């Protein structure tokens, strides 16, 4: 497998040495470009992706909307892909790289075998389900109990805090996709935020005022 010492160190931090050796023999390593779609809704999957660096956005589409499910970050996998692999079903989601992203592609026929053989792999799979369940439950509660204005401001604040910046590099359409609504709704909300002195709108980004 074409990888480097950094990736080996990352794998060794969560898996047994014997499992890392099997991964090196069995898996492929690929680098996908920013905005490259690596999984399409309705596609049959023969591999399980594990992100080594970068980030993958997983979402569903409904009419003209995108419904964000979650992000796959380093040393994590996609439970939608995992489910499709295990049951040989079509993927119910899309996956697009948020940045140039290095991904391990684990052939699906190894998933169950390694769960029986390696404790670390079994924990990895179980943790993937638990983590995503928690995230989806949080998103559900957020959607039910908060209005879209609150969710939009919370998203902007979280982004600026996590990235140590006061600018969010998203268009109105991109933010609408993140929140599962339409561009028209987001544009109205952002205009209200601007009139209230909470944000400054620029072409291609949103500046949160302190």
Contact (CB, 8 A) for 15 and 3: no
pLDDT of residue 145: 64
Domains and CATH numbers, the chain: 5-144 (2.60.120.10), 146-208 (1.10.10.10)
How far apart are the C-alpha atoms of 88 and 109, rounded to whole Å?
10
Is it the case that residue 181 has pLDDT exceeding 90?
no
* Strands (E) located in 158-204: 167-168, 199-202
Q: Model's pTM, two decimal places?
A: 0.75
Query: In terms of pLDDT, which residue wins out, 135 or 12?
Result: 12
Span 123-139, mean pLDDT?
Answer: 86
Residue 144's pLDDT band, with cuts at 50, 70 and 90, is: low
Question: Of 56, 57, 61, 68, nearest to 41 (Cα)?
Answer: 61
């Amino acid at each position: 497998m074409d990888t480097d010492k950094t990736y080996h160190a990352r794998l060794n931090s969560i898996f047994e040495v014997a499992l890392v050796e099997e991964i090196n023999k069995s898996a492929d390593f690929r680098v996908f470009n920013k905005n490259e779609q690596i999984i399409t809704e309705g596609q049959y999957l023969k591999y399980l992706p594990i992100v080594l660096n970068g980030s993958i956005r997983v979402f569903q589409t409904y009419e003209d909307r995108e419904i964000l499910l979650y992000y796959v970050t380093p040393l994590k996998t996609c439970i939608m892909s995992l489910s499709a692999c295990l049951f040989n079903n079509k993927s119910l989601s899309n996956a697009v790289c948020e940045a140039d992203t290095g991904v391990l592609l684990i052939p699906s026929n190894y998933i169950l075998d390694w769960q029986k053989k390696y404790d670390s792999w079994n924990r990895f799979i179980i943790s993937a389900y638990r983590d995503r369940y928690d995230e989806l439950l949080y998103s559900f509660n957020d959607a039910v109990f908060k209005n879209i204005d609150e969710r939009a401001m919370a998203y902007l604040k979280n982004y600026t805090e996590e990235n140590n910046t006061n600018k969010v590099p998203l268009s109105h359409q991109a933010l609408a996709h993140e929140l599962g609504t339409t561009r028209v709704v987001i544009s109205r909300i952002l205009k209200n935020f601007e009139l209230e002195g909470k944000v400054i709108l620029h072409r291609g980004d949103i500046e949160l005022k302190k």
